[in-house]
Amino acid sequence: MDHAAAWWAWERVYDLVQNDKPAAWHMIQVMVAYAPDYGSLGSVAAGPVEDLMGGKYLKLMREEAQSNPRFRICLGMTNGLPEELEPFAEKRNKLEVLPPSQSIEATPDEIKLMVAYFHHSDTGWASLLFSELNHNKPDEALFMIRLLLDQAEKYSPQLTEEVFSAVDSFIHVNFGAYQQELKALAMERESLRQWFLRKTWPPINDSEGWAAFLDGLRTA
């Protein structure tokens, strides 16, 4: 639930990279300065740093790397690093303590965004675990979906939509063996039944089976 609830932060940072690059660059500097560990710093490297590379920001990144050891480590965790930045990239043992941060001013909104962004990274294991259950232990994955639906409906429609995305993943892998369980789940929860009926394309290759499934939901 925490992982889904913090997704807005990733979307917001991506939106800044696309539409307000100066603000995105300052956000990167803030997150590099206050990243608590290598994992958090890596999420900045693999996200906004990689997305912002190019144009005048290559020069700004080079200048930042010359004076900021944390940013050099950040560059060392990126993929597709431009040749002119390669001399500044540092690879370090992730068990080491990060160099001290260089103080940088941040607004309350930037701090809120940074905390949510890092929290989403910290809880990324949950999404990976669900994927593993989905493929290897579908009974447990379906149990988790039930728990998530119960909790999401208590909090917000946005979280419920996130859980529906998990249902989508489950259907893609396990529809053939779990049609009856999915139908029963949908009949227990009207919001899920309506979500199924609103889908305009089948999430599986079995279009006939999917059509029959929807017909069953309509007439039940």
Query: What spatial distance separates the first Cα and last Cα of the chain, rounded to whole Å?
Result: 31
Q: In 10 A of CB 72, how many CB atoms?
A: 21
Angle at 102 between CA 35 and CA 38, to 5 degrees: 25
Angle subtended at Cα 88 by Cα 84 and Cα 90, rounded to the nearest 5 degrees: 135
Per-residue pLDDT of the chain (220 residues), as tens digits, is: 888 889 999 999 999 999 999 999 999 999 999 999 999 999 999 999 999 998 999 999 999 999 999 999 999 999 999 999 999 999 887 777 899 988 899 999 999 999 999 999 999 999 899 999 999 999 999 999 999 998 887 877 778 888 998 999 999 999 999 999 999 999 999 999 999 999 877 778 888 899 999 999 998 7
Distance set, CA 202 to CA 65, 90, 92, 120, 199 (Å): 48, 46, 46, 29, 7
Tell the residue number behind the tokens 């259907």, with chain if given: 171
Tell me the C-alpha to C-alpha distance, in Å, between residue 61 and each of 28, 75, 159: 10, 9, 36
Please report, as a single letter, which amino acid is at residue 130: F
Q: Please give the distance of CA 92 from its chain centroid, rounded to a whole number.
A: 25
CB 186 within 8 A of CB 171: no
pTM to 2 decimal places: 0.81
